[in-house]
A = this chain, B = another copy of it.
Amino acid sequence: MVQTIGQEDVMKKTIAGMLFFITLNAFAQGLLPAWNEGPTKQALLSFIDKTTTEGSPEFVPIPERIAVFDNDGTLWSEQPIYVQIAFTFDRIKALAPQHPEWKTTQPFKAVLENDIKGVMATGNKGLFELIAATHAGIDTETFQSMVTHWLKTTPHPRTGRPYTEMVYQPMLELLAHLESRGYKTYIVSGGGIQFMRPWTEMVYGIPPERVIGSSIKTKFEVVNGQPRLVGTPEIQFIDDGENKPIGIQERIGRRPVMAFGNSDGDLEMLWWTTAGKGPRFGMLIRHTDDVREVAYDRKSSIGRLDKALDMAPEKGWVVADMKNDWKEIFPPKK
């Protein structure tokens, strides 16, 4: 396109004016009240505005408005341990009377002795053994009820609140705001799909078909003339690291426009998302608040945030600092 300098100038001014108007507009609406005013909130709101405002040069059509969220540590608390691990430990304890051999076999022994370090020392292999022992052989509908019942009856060990209230209020607001702007929100988590789906719709407004996660293999069987789907002890997919973009491509079939995470396990998801053409947005959540949450930041034994944080400036990923950027961390008690 041949253009004189004068035309370019006019264009730049028009776009600048449009963005200024969009930003003003977002602030005036009092959106995302649990986020403190500042560049992080502004980056979020301006991006959403410019990609959803008709006529904006970075407008994204509704079917392509995909936003993906890690779950543990991004949408809800992952401290002191992943909630699914807490559930799995409780299941092991409940099943222990039928398995006397567990008293002397790792990783079961460590679980029964509440020795979390001992469990962690058995590594991924140990965790998978625990998951297989507790998740397999159960049909999908029964497993769902077990999760729902456990969440209703088990308080968070530190706060005494239900785990489903240990979710981040600023992220709940963001999910709702994105939905209201035609974005489809997805969970892309290392957690198990079977563990997440029973409650994500109620808690986050994210229906089961928009939950991507790790899974065990399922088999089809006919019992008493009735078909059912039953978990097997075999791992099917670990939805972490490089597998996150792979899982997204496989399930959604489109590159997301926005991606949110809080650990190096989210690095490839953010990278692949923001490497796409057109407007893209990546955000990392830093756990920096030792008073209202847990300040583990880069150093946690679970979900390290290290490489991704180092890459953030070069890739243009926005970093949300929980202590400074979040006015509220958890929703008010019900």
Give the chain B neighbours of A250 by CB distance below 8 A: 193, 215, 218, 236
In the complex, A292 has a CB within 8 A of chain B: no
In the complex, A204 has a CB within 8 A of chain B: no
Can you list, as one digit per residue, whether each of A173-216 has a CB less than 8 Å from chain B (1) or not (0)? 00000000000100000000100010001000001110100010
In the complex, A97 has a CB within 8 A of chain B: no
In the complex, A235 has a CB within 8 A of chain B: no
Q: Pick out which of these stretches binds chain B: A12-20, A32-40, A77-85, A251-259.
A: A251-259
In the complex, A11 has a CB within 8 A of chain B: no
Are B220 and A253 closer than 8 Å at their CB atoms? no
Can you list, as one digit per residue, whether each of A238-264 has a CB less than 8 Å from chain B (1) or not (0)? 000011011001111110000000000
In the complex, A140 has a CB within 8 A of chain B: yes
Are A254 and B208 closer than 8 Å at their CB atoms? yes
Give the chain B neighbours of A211 by CB distance below 8 A: 253
Interface residues on A, range: 20 to 34
Are B251 and A251 closer than 8 Å at their CB atoms? yes
Give the chain B neighbours of A245 by CB distance below 8 A: 220, 227, 229
Distance of A256 from chain B, by nearest CB (Å)? 11
Can you list, as one digit per residue, whether each of A272-313 has a CB less than 8 Å from chain B (1) or not (0)? 100100000000000000000000000000000000000000
Give the chain B neighbours of A208 by CB distance below 8 A: 252-254
Give the chain B neighbours of A252 by CB distance below 8 A: 208-209
Q: Which of B193, B197, B209, B229 contacts A272 (CB 8 A)?
A: B229
In the complex, A59 has a CB within 8 A of chain B: no
Q: Which of B140, B227, B229, B268 contacts A220 (CB 8 A)?
A: B268
Cα(A218)–Cα(B228), bound, Å: 29
Given contacts A207-B63, A242-B220, A246-B229, contact A193 B268 (CB under 8 A): no
Distance of A276 from chain B, by nearest CB (Å)? 9
In the complex, A128 has a CB within 8 A of chain B: no
In the complex, A152 has a CB within 8 A of chain B: no
Query: Which of chain B's residues has its CB closest to A243's CB?
Result: B220
Are B220 and A254 closer than 8 Å at their CB atoms? no
Query: Which of chain B's residues has its CB closest to A226's CB?
Result: B275
Given contacts A209-B254, A272-B220, contact A140 B249 (CB under 8 A): yes
Q: Which of B63, B218, B251, B253 contacts A249 (CB 8 A)?
A: B218
> A residues bordering B, Cβ < 8 Å?
63, 140, 184, 193, 197, 201, 207-209, 211, 215, 218-220, 226-229, 236, 242-243, 245-246, 249-254, 268, 271-272, 275
Known pairs A209-B251, A209-B254; list 11 more (Cβ under 8 Å): A193-B253, A209-B253, A211-B253, A218-B250, A220-B245, A220-B272, A226-B275, A227-B271, A227-B275, A229-B249, A229-B272
